[in-house]
């Protein structure tokens, strides 16, 4: 299982590059920003000038600075939510797939019930009643995504555990944890990775949507989703205020999406077991 | 092989499964009511304070508590709430002092109209597109189509909606209303132009998944052994597509539609807010901002129960349309280590319609 | 033989057929033969020989990536390769029928049997009236031995047994009254008894309706009583074409002889002779005769000239520069096995009951002595795999007693002693799922070494190379991942994995079921060698020919119960139970006396 097999697929390369670029932008942006993102420096909806290459927004902030500073929250929250969902969901799914029927049924049923909640509704519900601390939002989004991961992990684990080489390992008497990590896990990794990429995409969409509705980061902090909301009214005057953050959100979502697709394609090509 | 020809019982085989599934659905619905209740009334340390805000005077808080029955033990609160909900009483809106059920009813109709519009547009389009792309697999149309779908899928739904709003707000593009402020006096079917943009926005975000799913299951059916066997028997190609592959390819699409509906409900919320469309989504949004607890509870309950119902219907349709599942005396769930009966030496292709596999 | 009469009854004539893959790599070339009406001809070859490609080419169909590029195919006077559009569609099915290998996947699970039959008939004769259609369908169903009532027509494929499904495939082909029927290994998936019935039906139909049949198979024994002529294919070429008696009595091509000697036959107990090496893949044909690298009679000119198919005797053609002329008789032998009389058997099973969702084994008892090979025989559903798995420690819901080397043996492998765990090894049925796709062969083999014996590093590598040599695999294979290996190679790696644990008892579960005959022969030879070195074997199989080749004692299972057990000669020669007798009767054999 060499890395070159993955990197050979053009979609994987493109997706990885795009995602990394945007991530770097968001990460290093705050340092690169020429002005403070909350400083009201210029004219409201001011056009681009030498001092402010993208112009000014609805309160006179420098748009470029705000843009550079506005990605961090979306990115770290999407990454955290997707990672939490992956870890929790994979553990539960593996547990379900490899245990006695009772435990399996219980976990599967719990996952099904959670899946009945549309993601956004659940997040809104929690956020509205319990406040909008960032970690709470991350937790809720992770909870919303976890049942999907549980289903996927369970399906993959069952498919793999039914394979004869796992039975051979059991017959040899390998300890359970060793079977889990050496026989089963490597073979379910790929579908989980593909799903992780998808979750990143959905998380970005959902979190920026939340910010747009006003439930995310509180103003005057810079946030791409919030920026879209704030600058709607002045679209015809200063299009960049809405278009720039929208573009960045879209590009990041596209990058993660392509990455996920590419990984899926490579895995299908090398003939891995699909759940 | 046991002879299935004789039917000692008159009841169809799938009925037993359906009853079990129904029970499962009811159980799920009950748990959902629990979750909604806990999230809104049990979890927050002081719902009344949450509703009125941190600076409210103590008396208002106490009177609100009495009004909502929040001073009772939690179990009693739940039972009263559940009992009321079952009899159709979802409480009174704190904001407008009207019964929640009444407010919901009108809004629900609007949202249902929106969703129906989306389904009416997306499902036939996805079927048409998915089948066409599958039949022209790997040719130019397929490649372009797939790239377009991927692009569409990657764009967050609310961006599409905003894009449409902004597009039609520009001067010269006024032939479709960018904002869907319905006149409450007039019936909905007279103001359908307000539905157009929200439906388009939602359809665009729902199209990629369903299309690719139809395409993948169609390709799988086209590559199956029974299609090759039929072709070698001289069955005309047209009949093969319409009678042999299409029905087999569409059954997985039912689950796809159910999933689409589930995500649509969330997406509809955003779209409604963006277009200012008076549906359940805007009602929820307003309720959240006003901290209208009974309204929040009512809306969320209705939405989630609707999803449970949709899943039930989707499962029922799948069983009814799959002869193997329909006629089984006892529909078994997939066994953990299934010893396959079919000869293993024909390398088993993957049976699920995975998108990436068929690109 | 009146040549003129024969020509007028000629149904199929193939001349110089050539099928290529992308890049001008040929899968089939220079194929020429003809079939007369009512004649049944076998097309024999191993995997990769091109036999399936030839079969589908007769319907002007090639699998993905392959193309028919040259040649002539004439069916009842019509040039098949020049037909277009509607004429081609009508020819498929109407002129040439096709019966696929696996009826379970070849029948649309969403359509009823009646629908399938009706649409097939109407696709070719749309002018037929409703009554005529029903009548034709009814007649055909009766012909193939199926009920013709409405209730049956309303069934779905999954409601039929394997044998019934295959008969439906026959019905779908015969209802159109074609001139030629091509059958692609139609009985591979069926039980021996069902197979015999289906073959008898086929023969009857071909004779009565004067339909020519081309029967593609990899097992000569199956078609011995069925066919009139045999064609043998190797590496995309016809290497021998002869009448049945001529081919079985005096095969001229070295490959045919080697094939006949490698087929397990219930009536002969003699060591199966494997053919060293393997057939060339398309694109890797050596210059000259493709079989030369593996042929014991090879001469200098064999590597330079590709031998054409020429007349050898009357109605017997062979493509060889030095064909054999002596006749070959396959005797029925009764060899004896001297059993080692040990005081305690190595493995003892008493009163074993095993259940999954319902009980599959009822009160099974057996004993295996050290150094012998016990065959577990039964048809599908007999419980033989469940028994083997229970012995290996993989059974669920097991009751009864297991004893190994005099000590009690736990049912679950995890609860067994480490000594017991490494001494009892199991080789799975499906080589494609028996190896972890994410580990190299070297990693797969060294893991048990570290686990059982604590051997790592250079010493482990040494042992890995040694065991690979024991199973006749090159040491370089340790670097590869399983998906680069063929089925036979994977199965050998699985056996190597079992051997590296230094087992005393090896349980083999149908390990050669769908491997090529020559590969099977070499694996069976390997097992016999291991048995001579002291290994005890428990061999699960449904093929009585394999039993005769390898087993010392036999245990026959039927629906979870032991029907008969005893020494191989006794059970196969003088069976006591009626069920065993039926099995033996229906087992194909090549013996002439």
pLDDT 10s digits, C236-258: 899 999 999 888 888 999 999 88
Q: How many C-beta neighbours within 10 Å does residue B205 have?
A: 26
From chain B, the residues in CB contact with C164 under 8 A are 1
pLDDT at A5: 65
Is it the case that residue C90 has pLDDT exceeding 80?
yes
From chain A, the residues in CB contact with B356 under 8 A are 194, 261, 264-265, 267-268
Do the Cβ atoms of B231 and C92 come within 8 Å?
yes
Q: Subunits touching A (CB < 8 Å, at least 3 pairs)?
A: B, C
Q: Which among B127, B155, B156 is positioned nearest to B266, based on CA atoms?
A: B156
Is it the case that residue C5 has pLDDT exceeding 60?
no
Is it the case that residue B310 has pLDDT exceeding 80?
yes
The reply to whether the predicted model has a pTM over 0.90 is no
How many angstroms separate the CA atoms of B74 and C292, rounded? 88
Q: How many C-beta neighbours within 10 Å does residue A31 have?
A: 8
Q: Is C32 helix (H, G, I), strand (E, B) or coil?
A: strand
From chain C, the residues in CB contact with A173 under 8 A are 413-414, 416, 418, 421, 451
The count of CB pairs under 8 A between chains B and C is 105
Do the Cβ atoms of C61 and B224 come within 8 Å?
no
Q: Is C254 helix (H, G, I), strand (E, B) or coil?
A: helix
pLDDT band for B160, please (50, 70, 90 cuts). confident
Interface check for A249 against chain B (CB to CB < 8 A): the answer is yes
Q: What is the mean pLDDT of residues C316-343?
A: 70
Q: Compute chain C's Rg from CA coordinates.
A: 26
Of the ranges A23-37, C100-114, C531-545, which one carries the lowest mean pLDDT score? A23-37
pLDDT at C592: 56
Q: Which among C59, C287, C292, C266 is positioned nearest to B228, based on CA atoms?
A: C59
Of all residues in chain B, the percent with pLDDT exceeding 70 is: 83
Given the structure tokens 């990197």, which residue do they identify?
A7
pLDDT band for B18, please (50, 70, 90 cuts). confident
pLDDT at C365: 92
pLDDT 10s digits, C336-385: 455 555 557 888 898 888 888 788 888 899 999 888 899 999 887 888 88
How many angstroms separate the CA atoms of C321 and C324, rounded? 10
Do the Cβ atoms of C109 and B342 come within 8 Å?
no
Q: Which of C413, C438, C481 sits opposite A173 (nearest CB)?
A: C413
Q: Is C209 helix (H, G, I), strand (E, B) or coil?
A: helix
Q: Is A271 helix (H, G, I), strand (E, B) or coil?
A: coil
From chain A, the residues in CB contact with C481 under 8 A are 1
Q: Which among A81, A67, A85, A80 is positioned nearest to A26, based on CA atoms?
A: A67
Transcribe B183-231 into DSSP letters. -TTS-GGG-THHHHHHHHHHHHHHHHHHHHHHHHHHHHHHTSHHHHHHH
User: And the tokens for B323?
Assistant: 């002869």
b/e map B285-322, b = 16+ CB within 10 Å:
bebbeebbbbbbbbbbbbbbbbbbebbbebbbebbeeb
User: And the tokens for B151?
Assistant: 């692009």
Interface check for A173 against chain C (CB to CB < 8 A): the answer is yes
Q: For residue C503, what is the nearest residue in chain A, using CA coordinates?
A: A172
From chain B, the residues in CB contact with C120 under 8 A are 233-235
Strands lying side by side in the sheet with C347-355: C359-368, C347-355, C398-404, C407-408
pLDDT at C591: 64
Given the structure tokens 């039930």, which residue do they identify?
B312
User: At C241, which helix (H) or strand (E)?
Assistant: strand C237-243
Q: Is C29 helix (H, G, I), strand (E, B) or coil?
A: strand
Q: Which of A164, A183, A271 sits opposite C483 (nearest CB)?
A: A271
Question: Are A268 and B356 spatial neighbours (Cβ–Cβ below 8 Å)?
Answer: yes
Alpha-helical regions (H) of C346-394:
384-392
Q: What is the mean pLDDT of residues B215-242?
A: 89
Average pLDDT of chain A to the nearest whole number: 83
pLDDT 10s digits, A163-210: 889 989 989 989 888 888 888 888 888 788 888 888 888 888 888 888
pLDDT at B352: 29
Three-state SS annotation for B300-347: HHHHHHHHHHHHHHHHHHHHHHCHHHHCCCCCCCCCCCCCCCCCCCCC
Is it the case that residue A274 has pLDDT exceeding 50?
no
B residues 72..101 contacting A (CB < 8 A):
none
ipTM of the complex as predicted: 0.78
Is it the case that residue B139 has pLDDT exceeding 70?
yes
A residues 209..248 contacting B (CB < 8 A):
209, 212-213, 215, 228, 232, 235-236, 242, 246
User: And the tokens for C574?
Assistant: 């003088």
pLDDT band for C333, please (50, 70, 90 cuts). low
Interface check for A170 against chain C (CB to CB < 8 A): the answer is yes
How many angstroms separate the CA atoms of C221 and C217, rounded? 10
Q: Which among C332, C532, C501 is positioned nearest to C427, based on CA atoms?
A: C501
Q: What is the mean pLDDT of residues A145-159?
A: 89
pLDDT 10s digits, B318-344: 888 877 777 765 544 333 233 333 333
Q: Is the dihedral of CA A209, A210, A216, A219 positive or negative?
A: positive
How many angstroms separate the CA atoms of B120 and A201, rounded? 27
Q: Distance between the two ends of chain B, CA-based, in angstroms? A: 40
Which residues, including other chains, have CB under 8 Å from residue C141's CB and lie 6 or more apart? C117, C147, C148, C152, C171
Do the Cβ atoms of A171 and C452 come within 8 Å?
no
Do the Cβ atoms of C107 and B5 come within 8 Å?
no
How many angstroms separate the CA atoms of B315 and B319, rounded? 6
Adjacent-strand bridge partners of C44: C217, C232
Transcribe C414-453 into DSSP letters. GGS-HHHHHHEEEE-S-TTTSS-TTS-HHHHHHHHIIIII
Is it the case that residue B9 has pLDDT exceeding 80?
no
Do the Cβ atoms of A129 and B40 come within 8 Å?
yes
């Amino acid at each position: 299982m060499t890395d070159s097999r993955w990197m050979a697929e053009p979609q994987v390369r493109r997706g990885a590059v795009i995602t990394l670029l945007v991530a770097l932008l968001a990460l290093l942006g705050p340092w690169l920003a020429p002005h403070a993102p909350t400083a009201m420096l210029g004219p409201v909806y001011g056009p681009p000038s030498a001092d402010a290459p993208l112009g000014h927004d609805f309160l006179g902030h420098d748009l470029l600075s705000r843009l550079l500073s506005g990605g961090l929250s979306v990115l770290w929250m999407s990454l955290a939510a997707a990672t939490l969902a992956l870890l929790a969901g994979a553990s539960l799914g593996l547990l379900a797939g490899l245990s006695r029927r009772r435990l399996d049924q219980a976990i599967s049923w719990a996952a099904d019930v959670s899946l009945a909640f549309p993601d956004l509704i659940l997040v809104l519900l929690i956020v509205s009643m319990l406040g909008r601390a960032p970690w709470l939002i991350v937790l809720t989004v992770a909870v919303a995504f976890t049942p999907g991961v549980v289903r996927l992990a369970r399906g993959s684990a069952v498919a793999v555990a039914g394979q004869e080489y796992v039975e051979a390992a059991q017959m040899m008497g390998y300890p359970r944890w060793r079977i889990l990590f050496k026989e089963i896990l490597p073979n379910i990794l790929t579908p989980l990775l593909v799903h992780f990429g998808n979750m990143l995409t959905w998380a970005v969409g959902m979190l920026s949507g939340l910010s747009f509705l006003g439930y995310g980061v509180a103003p005057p902090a810079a946030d791409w989703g919030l920026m879209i909301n704030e600058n709607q009214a002045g679209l015809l005057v200063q299009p960049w205020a809405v278009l720039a953050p929208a573009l960045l959100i879209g590009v990041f979502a596209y990058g993660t999406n392509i990455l996920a697709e590419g990984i899926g394609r490579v895995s299908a090509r090398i003939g891995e077991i699909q759940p | 092989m046991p002879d299935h020809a004789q039917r000692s019982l008159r009841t169809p085989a799938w009925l037993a499964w359906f009853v079990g599934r129904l029970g499962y659905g009811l159980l799920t619905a009950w748990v959902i009511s629990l979750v909604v209740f806990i999230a809104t009334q049990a979890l927050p340390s002081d719902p009344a304070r949450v509703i009125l805000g941190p600076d409210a005077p103590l008396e208002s808080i106490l009177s609100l508590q009495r009004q909502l029955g929040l001073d009772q033990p939690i179990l009693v609160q739940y039972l009263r709430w559940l009992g009321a909900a079952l009899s159709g009483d979802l409480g009174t809106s704190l904001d407008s002092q009207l019964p929640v059920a009444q407010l919901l009813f009108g809004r629900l109709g609007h949202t249902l109209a929106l969703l129906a519009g989306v389904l009416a547009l997306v499902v036939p389009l996805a079927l048409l597109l998915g089948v066409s792309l599958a039949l022209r697999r790997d040719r130019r149309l397929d490649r372009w189509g797939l790239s377009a779908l991927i692009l569409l899928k990657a764009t967050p739904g609310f961006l599409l909606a905003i894009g449409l709003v902004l597009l039609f707000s520009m001067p010269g593009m006024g032939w479709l209303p960018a904002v869907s402020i319905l006149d409450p006096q007039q019936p909905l079917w007279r103001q359908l132009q307000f539905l157009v943009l929200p439906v388009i926005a939602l359809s665009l975000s729902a199209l990629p998944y369903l299309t690719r799913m139809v395409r993948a299951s169609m390709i799988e059916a086209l590559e199956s052994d029974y299609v090759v066997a039929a072709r070698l028997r001289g069955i005309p190609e047209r009949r093969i597509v319409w009678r042999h592959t299409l029905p087999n390819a569409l059954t997985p699409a039912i689950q796809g539609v159910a999933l689409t509906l589930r995500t649509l409900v969330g997406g509809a919320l955003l779209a409604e807010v963006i277009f200012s469309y008076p549906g359940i989504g805007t009602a929820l949004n307003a309720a959240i901002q006003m901290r209208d607890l009974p309204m929040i509870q009512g809306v969320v309950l209705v939405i989630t129960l609707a999803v449970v119902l949709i899943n039930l219907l989707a499962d029922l349709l799948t069983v009814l349309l799959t002869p193997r599942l329909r006629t089984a005396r006892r529909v078994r769930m997939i066994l953990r280590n299934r010893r396959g009966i079919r000869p293993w030496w024909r390398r088993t292709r993957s049976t699920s319609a995975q998108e990436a596999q068929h690109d | 033989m009146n040549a003129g009469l024969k020509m007028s009854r000629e149904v199929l004539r193939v001349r110089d057929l050539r099928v290529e893959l992308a890049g001008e790599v040929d899968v089939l070339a220079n194929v020429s033969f003809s079939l007369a009406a009512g004649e049944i001809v076998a097309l024999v070859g191993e995997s990769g020989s091109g036999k399936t490609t030839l079969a589908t080419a007769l319907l002007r169909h090639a699998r993905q990536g392959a193309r028919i590029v040259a040649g002539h195919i004439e069916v009842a006077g019509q040039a098949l390769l020049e037909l277009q559009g509607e004429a081609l569609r009508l020819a498929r099915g109407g002129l040439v029928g096709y019966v696929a290998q696996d009826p379970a996947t070849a029948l649309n699970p969403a359509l009823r049997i009646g629908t399938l039959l009706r649409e097939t008939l109407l696709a070719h004769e749309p002018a037929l009236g409703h009554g005529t259609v029903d009548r034709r369908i009814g007649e055909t169903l009766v012909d193939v031995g199926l009920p013709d009532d409405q209730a049956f027509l309303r069934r779905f494929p999954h409601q039929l047994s394997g044998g019934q499904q295959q008969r439906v495939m026959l019905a779908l082909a015969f209802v159109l009254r074609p001139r030629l029927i091509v059958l692609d290994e139609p009985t591979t998936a069926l039980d021996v008894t069902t197979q015999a019935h289906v073959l008898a039906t086929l023969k009857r139909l071909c004779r009565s309706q004067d339909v020519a049949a081309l029967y593609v198979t990899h097992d000569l024994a199956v078609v011995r009583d069925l066919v009139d002529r045999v064609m043998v294919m190797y590496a995309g070429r016809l290497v021998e074409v002869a009448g049945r008696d001529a081919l079985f009595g005096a095969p001229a091509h070295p490959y045919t002889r080697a094939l006949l000697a490698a087929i397990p036959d219930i009536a002969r107990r003699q060591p199966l002779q494997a053919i060293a090496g393997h057939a060339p893949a398309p694109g890797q044909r050596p210059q000259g005769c493709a079989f030369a690298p593996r042929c014991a009679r090879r001469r200098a000119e064999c590597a330079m000239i590709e031998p054409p198919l020429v007349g050898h005797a009357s109605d017997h053609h062979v493509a060889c520069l030095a064909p054999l002329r002596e006749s070959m008789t396959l005797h029925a032998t009764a060899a004896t096995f001297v059993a080692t009389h040990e005081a305690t058997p190595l493995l003892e099973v008493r009163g074993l009951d095993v259940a999954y969702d319902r009980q599959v084994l009822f009160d099974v008892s057996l004993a295996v002595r050290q150094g012998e090979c016990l065959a577990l025989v039964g048809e599908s559903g007999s419980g033989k795999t469940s028994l083997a798995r229970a012995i290996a420690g993989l059974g669920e819901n097991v009751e009864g007693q297991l004893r190994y080397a005099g000590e009690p043996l736990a049912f679950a492998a995890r609860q067994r002693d480490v000594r017991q765990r490494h001494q009892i090894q199991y080789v799975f049925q499906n080589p494609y799922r028996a190896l972890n796709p994410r580990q190299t062969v070297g990693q797969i083999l060294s893991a048990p070494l570290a686990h059982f014996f604590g051997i790592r590093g250079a010493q482990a590598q040494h042992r890995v190379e040694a065991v690979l040599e024991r199973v006749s695999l090159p040491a370089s294979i340790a670097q590869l991942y399983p998906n680069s290996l063929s089925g036979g190679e994977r199965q050998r790696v699985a056996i190597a994995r079992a051997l590296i644990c230094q087992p005393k008892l090896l349980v083999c579960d149908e390990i050669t079921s769908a491997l090529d005959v020559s590969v099977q022969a070499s694996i069976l030879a390997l097992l016999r060698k291991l048995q001579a070195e002291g290994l005890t074997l428990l061999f699960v199989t449904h093929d009585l020919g394999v039993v005769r080749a390898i087993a010392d004692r036999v245990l026959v299972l039927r629906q979870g119960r032991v029907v008969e057990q005893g020494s191989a000669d006794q059970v196969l020669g003088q069976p006591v139970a009626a069920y065993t007798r039926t099995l033996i009767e229906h087992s194909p054999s090549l013996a002439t006396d």
